[in-house]
């Protein structure tokens, strides 16, 4: 089909190359759009800038989540499933393409798309960084120009039809997801699947931390979220203890205790991690602090200190034997 359509958007023209099937999908907020795209210059050679098929992975965007190149959402929402269409877009819509492409290329290369960026808006970053690291994108950044996008729409999934990443959830969805993830983690712990359980607890913490970032630290809203974070972090640390990831436990418990220095359970888990990596003095200090903060844990602390003492004595004996053999003069023939 060679007929050109106007989308009632200034500076956009559409040409359907292959018709799609069925009715126009419902592009509601939170829907996930999966598609392939090709970006071309509007020159005689139709120079190819990017092609998602070369990476072998289709592109995905979430409707209503402020994708940097806003015009793409407009273009895709005019398509049916299975449709292939060519869009000509004036420079008023393509000024951010260099930055978007830079991020996509870095992801395809296995690099961090935000590497080197400051926490500023995209336009601010454009002025801060004179080079994107790619010559063709630097040219687009210097002289914004019309571009051609060829898109093939594969599917549109409603928000309830797929498991969304944390960043794509609304505030209400994140809050609703936390208790579900918490209970899933607890269920996996009972089955001794500690790696999977840790991933559930971590995902729940990320949901809450994202919400906390929008609150003023130590205000009521922030504290309420923090009260939900703390038990999840402790559960995560328990899983890491079971998996032998002791330095991971030291890092997270120390961070937790910097905010809540009266949390006996955090001291207890940190003490066990210290003991596991032979930090005897630090382990004893944390165990004694646990007994002081929570007398009901005194029996558990006594047991752990006894085990620590036995392990350290055994280690000292083994070390002594090893060093004696190391410095013993060689025997004659």
Looking at the fold, whether 197 and 128 belong to one and the same domain comes out as no
Looking at the fold, whether 126 and 57 belong to one and the same domain comes out as yes
In-domain check, residue 287: yes
Looking at the fold, whether 9 and 149 belong to one and the same domain comes out as yes
Total of domains in the chain: 2
Q: How many CB atoms lie within 10 A of CB 256?
A: 22
In-domain check, residue 162: no
In-domain check, residue 197: yes
Looking at the fold, whether 25 and 72 belong to one and the same domain comes out as yes
In-domain check, residue 198: yes
Looking at the fold, whether 188 and 124 belong to one and the same domain comes out as no
Looking at the fold, whether 86 and 111 belong to one and the same domain comes out as yes
In-domain check, residue 166: no
Looking at the fold, whether 17 and 133 belong to one and the same domain comes out as yes
In tens digits, the chain (333 residues) has pLDDT values of 455 666 778 899 999 999 898 889 888 887 889 999 999 999 999 999 999 988 778 888 888 766 678 899 999 999 999 999 999 999 999 988 998 888 888 877 766 555 544 433 444 443 444 677 888 999 988 888 999 999 999 999 887 655 566 656 677 878 888 898 899 999 999 999 999 999 999 989 988 988 888 888 889 999 999 999 999 999 999 999 999 999 999 999 999 999 999 999 999 999 999 999 989 999 999 999 999 999 999 999 999 999 988 988 888 888 777 776 665 566 665
Residue among 116, 28, 17 at smallest CA distance from 65: 28
Q: What is the pLDDT of residue 242?
A: 95
Q: What is the pLDDT of residue 149?
A: 97
SS (H, E, C) the chain: CCCEEECCCCCEEEEEEECCECCCCCCCCCCEEEEEEEEEECCCCCCEEEEHHHHCCCEEEECCCCCCCHHHHHHHCCCCECCEEEEEECHHHHCCHHHHHHHHHHHHCCCCCCCCCCCCCHHHHHHHCCCCCCHHHHHHHHCCCCEEEEEEEEEEECHHHCCCCHHHCCHHHHHHHHHHHHHHHHHHHHCCCHHHHHHHHHHHHHHHHHHHCCCCCCCHHHHHHHHHHHHHHHHHHHHHHHHCCHHHHHHHHHHHHHHCCCCHHHHHHHHHHHHHCCCHHHHHHHHHHHHHHCHHHHHHHHHHHHHHHHHHHHHHHHHHHHHHHHHCCCCCC
Contacts of 257 (CB under 8 A, 6+ apart): 263, 266, 267, 270
Q: What is the domain range of residue 192?
A: 171-325
CATH number, domain of 138, equals 3.10.50.40
Looking at the fold, whether 181 and 137 belong to one and the same domain comes out as no
Looking at the fold, whether 208 and 319 belong to one and the same domain comes out as yes
Q: Are 49 and 41 in contact (CB under 8 A)?
A: yes
In-domain check, residue 131: yes
Looking at the fold, whether 178 and 321 belong to one and the same domain comes out as yes
In-domain check, residue 330: no
Q: How far apart are alpha carbons 55 and 34 in whole angstroms?
A: 14
In-domain check, residue 8: yes
Looking at the fold, whether 136 and 278 belong to one and the same domain comes out as no
Single residue among 100, 131, 157 that ends a domain in this structure: 157
Q: What is the pLDDT of residue 291?
A: 94
CATH number, domain of 298, equals 1.25.40.10
Question: Whole-model pTM?
Answer: 0.54
Single residue among 127, 157, 187 that ends a domain in this structure: 157
Looking at the fold, whether 140 and 177 belong to one and the same domain comes out as no
How far is CA 287 from its chain centroid? 34
């Amino acid at each position: 089909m060679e007929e050109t359509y106007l989308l009632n958007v200034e500076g956009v023209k559409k040409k359907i190359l292959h018709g799609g099937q069925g009715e126009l999908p419902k592009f509601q907020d939170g829907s996930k759009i999966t598609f392939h795209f090709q970006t071309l210059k509007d020159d005689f050679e139709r120079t190819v800038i990017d092609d998602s098929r070369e990476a072998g992975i289709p592109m995905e965007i979430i409707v209503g989540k402020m994708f940097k190149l806003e015009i793409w959402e407009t273009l895709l929402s005019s398509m049916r499933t299975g449709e292939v269409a060519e869009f000509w877009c004036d420079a008023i819509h393509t000024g951010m393409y260099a930055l978007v492409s830079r991020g996509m290329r870095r992801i395809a290369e296995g690099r961090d798309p935000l590497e080197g960026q400051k926490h500023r808006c995209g336009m601010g970053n454009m002025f801060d960084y004179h080079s994107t690291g790619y010559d063709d994108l630097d040219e687009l950044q210097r002289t914004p120009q019309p571009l051609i996008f060829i898109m093939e729409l594969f599917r549109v999934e409603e928000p309830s039809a797929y498991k969304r990443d944390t960043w794509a959830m609304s505030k209400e969805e994140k809050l609703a997801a936390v208790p579900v993830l918490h209970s899933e983690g607890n269920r996996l712990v009972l089955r001794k699947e500690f790696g999977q359980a840790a991933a559930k607890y971590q995902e729940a913490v990320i949901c809450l931390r994202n919400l906390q970032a929008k609150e003023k630290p130590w205000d009521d809203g922030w504290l309420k979220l923090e009260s939900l974070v703390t038990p999840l972090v402790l559960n995560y640390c328990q899983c890491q203890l079971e998996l032998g990831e002791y330095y991971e436990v030291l890092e997270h418990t120390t961070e937790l205790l910097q905010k809540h220095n009266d949390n006996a359970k955090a001291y207890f888990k940190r003490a066990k991690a210290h003991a596991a990596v032979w930090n005897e003095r630090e382990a004893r200090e944390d165990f004694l602090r646990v007994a002081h903060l929570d007398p009901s844990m005194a029996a558990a602390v006594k047991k752990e200190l006894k085990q620590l003492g036995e392990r350290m004595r055994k280690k000292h004996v083994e070390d002594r034997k090893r060093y004696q053999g190391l410095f013993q003069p060689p025997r004659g023939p």
